[in-house]
């Protein structure tokens, strides 16, 4: 039953009464005192009762002396650093079992990765969509600022630009990048297998040393299945024949899974299947356990959770379902260190959960793959969907009716489509010339490249704050951004100018640790007032 008191005891924790004794740290059960005790997560929390009155403390000890305060509930110390799998933190050299996921086009920027690394988190640079020359600059800066890590770089699946993926892999191997986040993969590629195998060697004691680490982001069991096992014989033999890995590396690759960690990606910004975490995470954990029993790898693949992690409750829910670590994305894009414009950060800080839509993806446009984007304050989703409908309906730009083409040129592209094609020639000649060769042979492929010009630039306009193009900004985000805004409403984190990425993520874990202790105490028969069941971020 509801109570006017901030704390109510509704059952006895143990059939054997327990008592507490301590110094003058005993505090009356005011909301302020209870909150202070629960927030001191590095200390235990004791909840007592004496003469019908409730008391709380962060210190003291248990006793059998019946004249002392009766202990009603107890929660051990639990800090943000205690959450998650210690093996994850040990392997990557982090303090916390949380990393900031990569966001393409450098949205997860050098500044973001460096700030996260200095605060004890791992961050991934958003390499997707960038040319190797730009990524190399990021590598040099991040390695200079974080010579001992932790950091990682993203490798985004590029099914229509395999040459670009190979060039990116050459770059990673050249500069000794040891951890990559593999995103949007539908199957294993030779570049991924090469990276994994190239870092394998045999130690003097006979064990296998894995130098190159892969964290795979997946949302389906069939994709997770590929990363939870060794690569195919065919792929290993091909890489050996091409001289990209040695015979010994190929042999060792048969004995280890493709990934060290798998991030189960639920409903998120960007590429997403919009799946609920409560359904997909347990199923992939079970799959991991089944394949581990089959292969008996020396170290089991850890399973983490991403997508929808925008509040302490969401982070705690993931940990309670068995996630070894959690991953944040959308919420980081609204922080000052993100490689986005002030206009975009402000839009993100004002959005609500339903303010999202699905739109065609630039990198997999022809396949009909879609990404989740912000729909509030931009018309990108609607305009991009129109382009895909035209692509499905016609076989070439020439088939598009004149009135429809004029509408595209004036409202969407804001230039003649022939001029757009000229820009495509320049862009893909530097990026992947084979795209041009294919387009010149097939008018439909040419139409796809022209349409992808808009889809690709729209995200860059959002990052750079292109004036006059605000209604075309493509802003990848998920419902968790709206949930985060709800959580921080009325606090110092509400305005985007106050959001620092390391602080935001630490507050998320602080809240998860706080709520975990609340749940422990509630399981022992304590009921708290609504204010105490919430964690509100306070400035550090």
Q: Which residues pair with 69 in a beta bridge?
A: 20
What is the residue whose two structure tokens read 């595209």?
408
| 74, 47 contact by CB (below 8 A) | yes
Given this model, what pLDDT does residue 13 score?
54
Given this model, what pLDDT does residue 1 score?
38
pLDDT, tens digit (0-9, with 9 covering 90-100), for 442-474: 999 999 999 999 999 999 999 999 999 999 999
Pairing of strands 7-9, 61-63: unpaired
The domains of the chain, with CATH numbers, are 7-77+505-533 (no CATH), 82-340 (3.20.20.70), 379-474 (no CATH)
Q: Distance between CA atoms of 441 and 445, rounded to whole angstroms?
A: 8
**CA separation (Å) from 332 to 39, 323, 335?**
24, 20, 5
Given this model, what pLDDT does residue 21 score?
85
Would the pTM count as exceeding 0.75?
Answer: yes
Q: Which residues pair with 270 in a beta bridge?
A: 372
Given this model, what pLDDT does residue 2 score?
45
Q: What percent of the chain has pLDDT over 90?
A: 81
**Which contacts qualify for 236-243: CB closer than 8 Å, 24 or more apart?**
236/193, 236/197, 238/190, 239/190, 239/193, 239/194, 239/197
The low-confidence residues of the chain, meaning pLDDT below 50, are: 1-3
| 45, 88 contact by CB (below 8 A) | no
Q: Of 62, 58, 49, nearest to 24 (Cα)? A: 58
Tokens of 15: 């059939």
Given this model, what pLDDT does residue 458 score?
95
Q: Distance between CA atoms of 342 and 464, rounded to whole angstroms?
A: 9
Q: What's phi and psi for 314, nearest 5 deg?
A: -65, -40
């Amino acid at each position: 039953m509801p109570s006017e008191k901030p704390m109510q005891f509704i059952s006895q924790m143990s059939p054997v009464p327990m008592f507490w004794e301590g110094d003058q740290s005993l505090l009356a059960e005011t909301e302020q005192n209870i909150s202070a005790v629960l927030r001191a997560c590095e200390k235990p929390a004791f909840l007592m009762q004496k003469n019908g009155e409730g008391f709380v403390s962060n210190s003291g000890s248990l006793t059998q002396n019946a004249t002392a305060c009766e202990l009603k509930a107890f929660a051990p110390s639990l800090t943000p650093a205690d959450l998650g799998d210690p093996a994850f933190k040990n392997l990557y050299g982090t303090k916390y079992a949380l990393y900031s996921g990569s966001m393409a086009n450098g949205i997860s920027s050098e500044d973001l990765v460096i700030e996260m690394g200095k605060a004890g988190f791992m961050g991934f640079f958003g390499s997707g969509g960038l040319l190797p020359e730009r990524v190399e600059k990021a590598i040099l800066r991040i390695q200079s600022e974080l010579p001992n890590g932790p950091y990682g770089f993203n490798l985004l699946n590029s099914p229509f630009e395999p040459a670009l993926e190979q060039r990116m892999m050459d770059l990673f191997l050249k500069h000794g990048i040891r951890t990559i986040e593999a995103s949007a993969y539908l199957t294993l590629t030779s570049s991924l297998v090469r990276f994994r195998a190239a870092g394998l060697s045999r130690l003097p004691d006979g064990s296998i040393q894995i130098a190159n680490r892969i964290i795979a982001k997946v949302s389906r069991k069939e994709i997770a299945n590929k990363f939870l096992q060794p690569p195919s014989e065919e792929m290993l033999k091909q890489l050996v024949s091409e001289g990209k890995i040695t015979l010994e590396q190929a042999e060792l690759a048969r004995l280890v899974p493709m990934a060290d960690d798998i991030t189960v990606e639920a409903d998120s910004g960007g590429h997403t299947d919009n799946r609920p975490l409560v359904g997909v995470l347990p199923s992939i954990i079970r799959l991991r356990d089944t394949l581990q029993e089959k292969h008996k790898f020396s170290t089991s693949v850890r399973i983490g959770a991403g997508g929808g992690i925008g509040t302490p409750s969401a982070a705690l829910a993931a940990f309670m379902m068995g996630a070894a670590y959690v991953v944040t994305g959308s919420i980081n894009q609204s922080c000052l260190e993100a490689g986005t414009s002030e206009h975009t950060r402000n839009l993100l800080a004002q959005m609500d959960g339903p303010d999202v839509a699905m739109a065609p993806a630039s990198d997999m446009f022809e396949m009909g793959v879609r990404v989740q984007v912000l729909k509030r304050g931009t018309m990108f989703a609607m305009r991009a969907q129109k382009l895909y409908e035209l692509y499905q309906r016609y076989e070439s730009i020439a088939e598009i009716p004149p009135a429809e083409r004029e509408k595209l040129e004036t409202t969407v592209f804001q230039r003649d489509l022939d001029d757009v094609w000229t820009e495509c020639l320049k862009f893909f000649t530097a990026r992947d010339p084979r795209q041009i060769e294919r387009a010149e042979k097939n008018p439909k492929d040419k139409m796809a490249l022209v349409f992808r010009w808009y889809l690709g630039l729209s995200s860059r306009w959002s990052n750079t704050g292109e004036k006059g193009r605000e209604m075309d900004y493509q802003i990848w985000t998920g419902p968790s951004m709206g949930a985060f805004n709800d959580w921080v409403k009325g606090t110092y984190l509400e305005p985007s100018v106050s959001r620092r990425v390391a602080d935001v993520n630490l507050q998320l874990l602080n809240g998860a640790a706080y709520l975990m202790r609340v749940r422990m105490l509630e399981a022992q028969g304590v009921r708290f007032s609504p204010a105490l069941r919430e964690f509100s971020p306070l400035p550090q």
